[in-house]
Amino acid sequence: MQVERQSQQESKNKIKLPPLAFLVCLFLSAIAWFFINFSRDQEHTLEYRLICSELPEGKTSCTLSDTTLILTFRTRGLDYLTPKYAKENRVVDISVNEIIKNKNKRSAYSFSNKELCNFLIDNGYPELKSVDKPEVITLYVK
């Protein structure tokens, strides 16, 4: 009778713990899923804050019609985990001298999202796919 009780207790203990082989397979499949998922090209849409720098000579301030950009990037999955996409690093610093270089001298400059996208691709965001919002951004220089 006592032998039967011990065998029943041992079988209950074995049932409570999953087999080691199952845990190993689960761990290996999780690692495989991670690498497969993060090794393909992906698109990520992120919100960036826009600031101005390098004002033209004689100008003292710069105001933007919208200081928030919605940008879509095409990256490899593991590249997305780099610090440049972290929330605290999501700032676009636009050189006013560079962006208004081909425009006439005036106090207000308007840029479509296509122009802004091309400018950002040429100046440090090669993986940028598109500028989703705003459609037009206006830069006021005083």
pLDDT digit string (tens) for 3-60? 566 666 665 555 566 788 889 999 999 999 988 887 888 888 999 999 999 988 888 8
**Same domain, yes or no: 33 and 47:** no
pLDDT digit string (tens) for 63-90? 999 999 999 999 887 787 788 888 999 9
Q: How would you list the strands of the sheet with 108-112, edge to edge?
A: 62-64, 136-141, 108-112
**Same domain, yes or no: 47 and 83:** yes
**Same domain, yes or no: 12 and 56:** no
What average pLDDT does range 104-132 have in this prediction? Answer: 90
Q: Which domain holds residue 21?
A: 2-37
Residue 65: φ, ψ to 5° = -70, -25
Q: For residue 91, which of 131, 51, 127, 54 has the smallest C-alpha distance?
A: 51
Q: What is the CATH number of the domain that holds 67?
A: 2.170.120
**Same domain, yes or no: 58 and 31:** no
CA distance linking residue 117 with residue 9, whole number of Å: 68
pTM above 0.85, yes or no: no
